[in-house]
Amino acid sequence: VQYDHLAKILLLGNSSVGKSCLLLRYTENRFNEAFYSTIGVDFKVRTIVMRNKSIKMQIWDTAGQEKFRSITSQYYRGAHGIMMIFDLTNKDSFNDLDAWIQEIERYGGEKLAKVLIGNKCDLEDKRTITFEEGKAYADKLGMPYFETSAKDAANIDAGFVKLAELIIAM
């Protein structure tokens, strides 16, 4: 093999929070303004080097739409890390995090690294969840919290690197 660690990562969260855009930004440094809702599950790979070790991140992008839940639930098996994402301008996507936690508890393994992402921080004037609310929720669950923008690339690397660090430390 050409890497030291393999990290299987799952992107979870409601439809339209920006999971596919975060992945596109992280792996290809591109952004799509149009909304192409994911059907089922997709994945992309990015390999990074941390402390002289290479980490191959295999990132699974799940469909947020409810009707795909039975398909996406099959992908939790063998995952090392989860990026749980909500949209800072969409209160429902924040309120539904409790349901996503239940899904993770139901389908995920025992050892799972997790980070919470509040995405679309470029839309400051449309924000409905404050930084303090997002941070408090993450603290309650013992998860690191990042506010990101797939559009202007803010904090995307930081979120994925943190998740990789947590996975390696497990």
Backbone angles phi, psi at 150, to 5 degrees: -70, -25
Q: Which residues contact 117 (CB under 8 A, 6 or more apart)?
A: 13, 22, 83, 84, 85, 86, 145, 146, 147, 148, 159
- The answer to the question of residue 69 lying near ligand GTP (CB under 6 A) is no
- The answer to the question of residue 151 lying near ligand GTP (CB under 6 A) is yes
- The answer to the question of residue 18 lying near ligand GTP (CB under 6 A) is yes
Report the residue number, 85 or 115, with the smaller CB distance to Mg ion.
Answer: 85
- The answer to the question of residue 119 lying near Mg ion (CB under 5 A) is no
Pairing type for strands 5-12 and 145-148 reads unpaired
CA nearest neighbour of 84 among 117, 60, 42, 129: 117
Report the residue number, 20 or 148, with the smaller CB distance to Mg ion.
Answer: 20
Dig out the tokens for 90 from the structure. Answer: 């969409």
**Cβ 123 to Mg ion shortest distance, Å:** 18
Alpha helices in the chain (DSSP H): 19-28, 69-72, 91-95, 97-107, 131-141, 156-169
Q: Which stretch binds ligand GTP (CB under 6 A): 51-59, 75-83, 130-138, 144-152?
A: 144-152
Q: How many residues does the chain have?
A: 170
Report the residue number, 14 or 20, with the smaller CB distance to Mg ion.
Answer: 20
Q: Which stretch binds ligand GTP (CB under 6 A): 36-44, 48-56, 103-111, 136-144?
A: 36-44
- Applying CB under 6 A, the residues found at the interface with ligand GTP are 15-21, 32-38, 63-65, 119-120, 122-123, 149-151
- Applying CB under 5 A, the residues found at the interface with Mg ion are 19-20, 38
